[in-house]
Amino acid sequence: MQNILVTGGAGFIGSNFIKYILKNYNYKIFNYDKLTYAGNLENLTDIEDNANYKFIKGDICELENVKKVLTDNNIDTIINFAAESHVDRSILGSREFIVTNVLGTQTLLDIFKDLKLEKYLQVSTDEVYGSLPEDRKELKFTEQNPIKTNSPYSASKASADLLCNSYFHTHKLPILITRCSNNYGPYQFPEKLIPLMIAKALDGEKLPVYGDGKNVRDWLYVDDHCSAICEVLHKGKIGEVYNIGGNNEWYNIDIVKLILKTLKKSEEQILYVKDRPGHDRRYAIDSSKIQNELGWKPAYDFEHGIESTIKWYIENESWWRKVMSGEYLKYYEKNYASKVK
Ligand SMILES: NC(=O)c1ccc[n+]([C@@H]2O[C@H](COP(=O)([O-])OP(=O)(O)OC[C@H]3O[C@@H](n4cnc5c(N)ncnc54)[C@H](O)[C@@H]3O)[C@@H](O)[C@H]2O)c1
């Protein structure tokens, strides 16, 4: 393994992953991203001149384009982060989710098969397992749990997982799947819970909380997700699924209160709003397989992870202000478009 195509590398987890892998390994990384509203090259300014890094603008659904990028750059490995990733948006309209998450994955798999590359890793989510009851704390998602999707987003991610599995079985391809719980950390698009609440709290606005706020999510610091993906990439058993999680369940409302407390803001800023349709009640991941078989464990505890994340959003206010105003969309034109051959 030498040359890796990271799709969706301008998004939240992809950009953190590229920095993580460049820092810890000696691979050449090709970041292939369509730059949808969620792709932001400003996430990568500190490494954009790294000799082991190259950005290529493109869509994973464009077969000929992806094929050319792979062959021109001698790429042997694909890690697929590219996706439409926001559940709320999938409720408003699911087409883009099916196109990118399902057809895009199928396109990558076909090319992977044709070019006989070395390894393919699909970055998936715990949301494919559906929802757990709130009062059965002993229940967590294991890799054996059936797929039971409730949102168009999770249905599209599950479809992609099933395709990966089918290409492994039918075509005997070296494919791996990871399913991670909710991530938090720097550079997360401020439509997602933690950065949205931090931004609203800092601006003295109301913090909208769905329903009774008692939905439970299992939070993991983004760098821990990145280290887990590297472990699976290097040591994972081909054809297997690996759950990744921090054993760190929180009610949404408690996360919101913690953010307000850390920022010394009043809980009066909380505004309960009508629940999201089909809102899954509880996610909790059993990550004993990756811990026992691959020796991975999270390095960050939540107390420090959330504290440093809140500090990051305070110190990088201009980053999220540019995202919220849409100004970040000009970055590619300003800094890249003229350099692209
Ligand atoms: N955020 C989480 O908590 C979480 C948890 C588990 C798994 N995941 C999965 O991890 C991956 C990354 O999540 P994220 O939160 O960083 O998402 P994100 O929305 O921040 O980033 C997605 C990236 O994919 C790019 N993209 C979208 N469509 C594309 C296409 N057709 N071709 C090429 N690039 C395209 C976007 O431009 C963006 O840069 C996704 O597959 C998601 O399902 C996310």
In the chain the domains, ranked by start, together with CATH numbers, are 3-185+220-247+284-300+329-337 (3.40.50.720)
From ligand 1's centre to the CA of 32, what distance in Å?
A: 12
Q: For residue 338, what pLDDT is reported?
A: 62
Which residue minimizes the CA distance to atom 44 of ligand 1? 125
What angle is formed at CA 125 by the lines to CA 104 and CA 155, rounded to 5 degrees? 60
What is the 268 CA–ligand 1 centroid distance (Å)?
Answer: 33
Mutate to test the pocket of ligand 1, among 85, 88, 107, 128 (most ligand atoms within 8 A of CB): 85
DSSP alpha helices (H): ranges in 25-147? 63-72, 87-92, 95-97, 105-115
Query: Quick one: pLDDT at residue 142?
Result: 98
pLDDT the model gives residue 335: 74
What is this structure's pTM? 0.96
Cα 51 to Cα 268: distance, rounded to the nearest angstrom: 50
Q: pLDDT at position 161, please?
A: 98
Question: Residue 164: which residues within 8 A CB-CB, separation 6 or more?
Answer: 105, 109, 120, 122, 175, 177
CA angle centred on 292, ends 18 and 284, rounded to 5° = 70
Q: Which value, in Å, is the radius of gyration of the alpha carbons in the chain?
A: 19
pLDDT value of residue 22: 98
Q: Which atom of ligand 1 is found nearest the CA of 9?
A: 39
Residue with CA at minimum distance from ligand 1 atom 8: 125
Residues 280 and 276: their CA atoms lie apart, in Å, by: 9
Please list the active-site residues: 126-127, 153
Which residues face 216 on adjacent strands?
Answer: 251, 282
What does the alpha-carbon distance between residue 214 and residue 281 come to, in Å, rounded to a whole number? 8
Distance of CA 106 to the CA centre of its chain: 19
Residue 5: the pLDDT is: 98
Q: Whose CA is nearest to atom 25 of ligand 1?
A: 8
Rounded distance from Cα 84 to ligand 1 centre (Å): 6
Can you give the pLDDT of all 341 residues of the chain as single tens digits? 899 999 999 999 999 999 999 999 999 999 999 999 999 999 999 999 999 999 999 999 999 999 999 999 999 999 999 999 999 999 999 999 999 999 999 999 999 999 999 999 999 999 999 999 988 999 999 999 999 999 999 999 999 999 999 999 999 999 999 999 999 999 999 999 999 999 999 999 999 999 999 999 999 999 999 999 999 999 999 999 999 999 999 999 999 999 999 999 999 999 999 999 999 999 999 999 999 999 999 999 999 999 999 999 999 999 999 999 998 888 887 777 665 54
Amino acid 340: pLDDT: 54
Q: What is the dihedral of CA 308, 310, 315, 320, to 10 degrees?
A: 130
Query: To test ligand 1's pocket by mutation, which of 7, 12, 20, 86 has the most ligand atoms within 8 angstroms of CB?
Result: 12
Could you identify the atom of ligand 1 that is nearest to the CA of residue 36? 37
Which atom of ligand 1 lies nearest, measured to the CA of 188? 20
Helix locations, the chain, DSSP H: 12-24, 63-72, 87-92, 95-97, 105-115, 152-171, 193-202, 222-235, 252-262, 288-294, 302-315, 317-325, 330-332
Type of residue found at 122: Q
Cα 136 to ligand 1 centre (Å): 31
User: In angstroms, what CA-CA distances link 298 with 123, 182, 231?
Assistant: 17, 14, 12
Kindly give the distance from the C-alpha atom of residue 259 to the centroid of ligand 1, in angstroms, as a whole number: 25
> What is the spatial distance between Cα 120 and Cα 172, in angstroms, rounded to a whole number?
12
Token pair recorded at residue 89: 């948006």
- Write phi, then psi, for 238 (nearest 5 degrees): -55, 135
List all residues whose CB is within 6 A of at least one atom of ligand 1: 7-8, 10-14, 33-36, 38-39, 59-61, 81-83, 85, 100, 104, 123, 125, 157, 180, 182-183, 189
Can you tell me the distance from the alpha carbon of 290 to that of 245, in angstroms, rounded to the nearest whole number?
A: 10
Q: Which one, of 311, 292, 294, lies nearest residue 233 by Cα?
A: 294
CB 162 within 8 A of CB 225: no
Mutate to test the pocket of ligand 1, among 36, 180, 191 (most ligand atoms within 8 A of CB): 36
